[in-house]
Amino acid sequence: MNHTTHHPRKIRQLLPIQDVRLDGGFWKDRQELITGVTIPYIWEALNDRIPGVPKSAAVENFKAAAGLSDQGFFGLVSQDSDLAKWIEAASYSLMIKPDAELEALLDGVIEILDQAQEDDGYLNTHYSLNGIDKRWSFLRESCELYCAGHLIEAAVAHYEATGKDSFLRIARKYADHIGRVFGREEGQKRGYCGHAEVELALVRLYRVTGDEEYLRLSKYFVEERGQKPYYFTVEKAAASSDRNIMEHLVYALEEENYQHSQSHLPVREQEHADGHSVKGMYLYSSMADLALEYGDGELLQACKRLWDSVVGKRMHITGGIGSSAVGEMFTFDYDLPNDASYNETCASIGLIFWAQRMLRLEPDRKYADVMERALYNGVLSGLALSGKQFFYTNPLEIWPEACAVRKDKEHILTERQHWFDCPCCPPNISRLITSLGQYIYTLDEDVVYTHLYMSSSAKIGSGSGAFTLVQESGYPWNGSVRLRIEGEAPVKRTLALRIPGWARDYAIMLNGVDITKETAVENGYAKIDRVWTDGDTLELLLPMDVEKVYAHPKVRYNGGKVALQRGPVVYCLEEADNGPVLSGISLPRESKPEARFEEGLLNGVVALYADAVKTAVEQPALYSAQRPAEEKVRIKAVPYYAWNNRGRGEMAVWINER
C-alpha cells in the first residue's frame, strides 16, 4: 500500500443542484414518486398522523422544546435528525418542483425550530426537554452532534433551494455554539460525536457561507477522533456523564473498544472499514471533504485505503455494507452472508455520498461504478414501488420462516415496513433521490466528467462559455446514451464519459461518426476534446449483456454460486416467479439467460429468463443416498431493487451453478 503523501492537483466542482434537472426516464420517475408520495407521507409520519405505525413525535418534540406543546420528549436521541433529513429532502423537492404550499410549510417548521433554539444557539429537543444540564456529557451515544449535522445540512439545502436564510441563521448560530464548546482550547470539550455526520455538514456550511471557522471545526472533529486518552473513556468517568439514560442502547458493544464509532484509532491510521457502517460512511465522506479542501494527501491515502477495504473485501454485490445485524456493523474481510448481513439502506446511501466525494479527489471510474452499484441495487431496494414502505435491512437471501423463527435473524425483516422506531432510512433515501443531479457530473477546469447516465439537462459554465448538456438514455434497461450540446457560442471542453466496469464493450459516436478507436480512455473515462457547438451529439453505446457474476472465492457463502447482472442492475430470484425452495435451483454453466422488458412487471423492468434445473420439493426422507429428482425449469429473475413488491416470499441473489 502506498502511503506516500501527495496533494490532489485540483478541486473538481459539483454543479449547483438547481443546474442539473432530471428530464425523464427511470430516475425522474423515482424523483416524482419521492416528491409526490414519499415526502408527503413522511411528513404525515413525523406528525403521527399515520395509524398503526410506530410513533415519531419528531415534530411534536420541537413544538415542545419551542414551548408550543406540553408533551415530553419522545423517541430516540436521534429523533431530531428525522425531521432535519425530511426538511433537506423537501428543500431539494422545491428545487425540482416549486411548491408554494410546501415552501410555506417549511417556513412554519423553521419558525418552530427558531423558537426551540436555546439562547446560546443549542438546538436539541432531547436535552432541552430532558435536562439541558446533561447536554454534551455523553457524546458516545447522545447523537447530539449527529443531529446538529443533519440540521446544518438541511439548513444549507433550504438556503440553496429558497434563497432564504431563516434556517441557515439558526444553523450558523448552533454551529457557532458548537465551535465554542468543542476544541483544544482551555475550557473547551475535547470531544467528538459517536456518530459521524456533523463533520461533513460543517464542510457544507463552510462552502455555502465561506466561513472557514466551520471548516476548521470539521477538521478538529475528524482529527481528534481516536486520539488518546480516548474521549469516550474520559466522559464516561466524568460525574456529569449522562451515560445512565443511554443504557438501553444496543451499541453498548463498544465498551473500551471504540471501533464501532471509528474512534479506536486516529483516522489517518485506520486501515480497515470497521464499526457501524453508516457512521463509517459519514466519517469517510468528511475525510474526503477535508482531503479536498486542505489538499491533504495523507488523508486522501487513508480514504483510499478504507475505500479498498470496503469495496474490495466488505461489500455485497448490491452495494450493501454492514455484515452484522448486531451493531449494524462491518465484521471482517469476505464475511458477506447473504441471509444475515444488515446492509442498512442508509449505509449504501452513505457509500454514495463518499463515492461522490472521492470522484472530486480523483476521477476514477471505480468510485462511480460503486456509486451506480449502490444506487440501482442496495439503495433503491430500500424503497417500495408504492413509495410508502421501506427496508431498513437489505439482505441478499430470504427464507421468510427463518427470519420469523430464528432469533439470530430477527433483525432481518422480510417485508418493507410503513415506518420504524428509528426511521432514518425513509428521509435519507428521499434526500438522495431528490438531489441525484449532484451525482451525475463533476467539472474539472476544462473537463466535464459524466459519472452516471440518466436523462437530464445540466447548465454548465457561465457567461459566453455557458452551454447545456442534455442527456437522453433508456438506462438502466438499455445502454444507449446520447449527450447533446446546446449553447449559443462554441466552447472548448473535454467531455469525459465513464465506461462502466460492467461493460464488456462500448462504442462512441460523434455526430454519427464512430470515434471509438481515436478516443483515449483514462481511469475508465473516454475523453473527447473538442470545440463543441450547438447541436453536437455524442453517443455512448454500451451493450447490456446478461453477465454471470462470481464472488471472490474467499466469500465462503457464495462458493459454487453465481449472480446475474445486466448493466448496473443486479437480479434476484423470487418465490413469486419460481416457487418455493430457491436453493433447489441450479443454473447450468452453459445456460444463457435472456433479457426481456416487461411493461407490466414491477412498474416496467427487464426480466431475465434462463434454462435451469430444480430439485423436486417433495422427497421421502430427510437424508438419502438418492440424489433428489430434478426437473428442467425456466427460471425468471427480476431486479433486486424491486423484490418484495408482490408479497412475502423467498428471495435469492446468489444461485447455485452447476
Residues 559-578 interacting with its own copies (rule: CB under 8 A): 559-560, 563, 565
Q: Which is nearer to its own copies, 47 or 656 (CB)?
A: 656
**What does the alpha-carbon distance between residue 217 and residue 198 come to, in Å, rounded to a whole number?**
10
552 belongs to the binding site for its own copies (CB under 8 A): yes
37 belongs to the binding site for its own copies (CB under 8 A): no
Q: Which helix (H) or strand (E) holds 472?
A: strand 467-473
Work out how close the CB of 621 gets to its own copies at its nearest, in angstroms, rounded to a whole number.
7
Residues 489-508 interacting with its own copies (rule: CB under 8 A): 502, 504
Work out how close the CB of 624 gets to its own copies at its nearest, in angstroms, rounded to a whole number.
6
Work out how close the CB of 582 gets to its own copies at its nearest, in angstroms, rounded to a whole number.
8
- Contact segment (CB under 8 A) with its own copies among 142-150, 164-172, 471-479, 550-558 equals 550-558
Site string for its own copies, 386-415 (x = CB under 8 A): -------------x-xx--xxxx-------
Collapse the DSSP code of 448 into the 3-class scheme (helix H, G, I; strand E, B; otherwise coil) and give the result: strand
658 belongs to the binding site for its own copies (CB under 8 A): yes
Q: Which is nearer to its own copies, 314 or 431 (CB)?
A: 314
Under 8 Å between Cβ of 344 and 328: yes
Work out how close the CB of 649 gets to its own copies at its nearest, in angstroms, rounded to a whole number.
13
First to last CA, the chain: 37
Work out how close the CB of 652 gets to its own copies at its nearest, in angstroms, rounded to a whole number.
9
Q: Which is nearer to its own copies, 228 or 627 (CB)?
A: 627
Sequence-ordered list of residues with C-beta below 8 angstroms from that of 611, at least 6 positions apart, any chain: 588, 591, 632, 633, 634, 635
Among 74, 230, 420, 550, binds its own copies (CB under 8 A): 550
**What does the alpha-carbon distance between residue 159 and residue 617 come to, in Å, rounded to a whole number?**
59
**What does the alpha-carbon distance between residue 590 and residue 17 come to, in Å, rounded to a whole number?**
47
523 belongs to the binding site for its own copies (CB under 8 A): no
624 belongs to the binding site for its own copies (CB under 8 A): yes
543 belongs to the binding site for its own copies (CB under 8 A): no
573: β partners: 637, 652
Burial of 411 (0-12, 13-18, 19+ CB in 10 A): middle
Work out how close the CB of 313 gets to its own copies at its nearest, in angstroms, rounded to a whole number.
6
Among 98, 421, 616, 631, binds its own copies (CB under 8 A): 616
446 belongs to the binding site for its own copies (CB under 8 A): no
What is the 8-class DSSP label of residue 427? Answer: H
557 belongs to the binding site for its own copies (CB under 8 A): yes
Residues 106-135 interacting with its own copies (rule: CB under 8 A): none
375 belongs to the binding site for its own copies (CB under 8 A): no
Among 315, 380, 424, 508, binds its own copies (CB under 8 A): 315
Q: Which three cell numbers stand for residue 595?
A: 433479457
What is the 8-class DSSP label of residue 152? Answer: H
548 belongs to the binding site for its own copies (CB under 8 A): yes
Under 8 Å between Cβ of 140 and 195: no
Q: Which amino acid is at 140?
A: R
Handedness of CA 610, 415, 437, 196 (dihedral sign): negative
Under 8 Å between Cβ of 182 and 189: yes
Residues 321-360 interacting with its own copies (rule: CB under 8 A): 323-327, 331-332, 335, 340
Query: How many chain residues bind its own copies (CB under 8 A)?
Result: 60
**What does the alpha-carbon distance between residue 479 and residue 486 come to, in Å, rounded to a whole number?**
22
The phi-psi region of residue 551 (left if phi > 0; otherwise alpha if psi is between -120 and 50; otherwise beta) is beta
Q: Which is nearer to its own copies, 97 or 556 (CB)?
A: 556
> Catalytic residues, which ones?
328, 424
Burial of 308 (0-12, 13-18, 19+ CB in 10 A): middle
Exposed e or buried b for every residue in 159-173, given b needs 16+ CB within 10 A? bbbbeeebbbebbbb
Work out how close the CB of 625 gets to its own copies at its nearest, in angstroms, rounded to a whole number.
5
586 belongs to the binding site for its own copies (CB under 8 A): yes
507: β partners: 541
Q: Which is nearer to its own copies, 260 or 388 (CB)?
A: 260
Under 8 Å between Cβ of 450 and 498: yes
Residues that bind its own copies (CB under 8 A): 311-313, 315, 317, 323-327, 331-332, 335, 340, 399, 401-402, 405-408, 502, 504, 547-560, 563, 565, 581-586, 589, 615-617, 619, 621-628, 656, 658
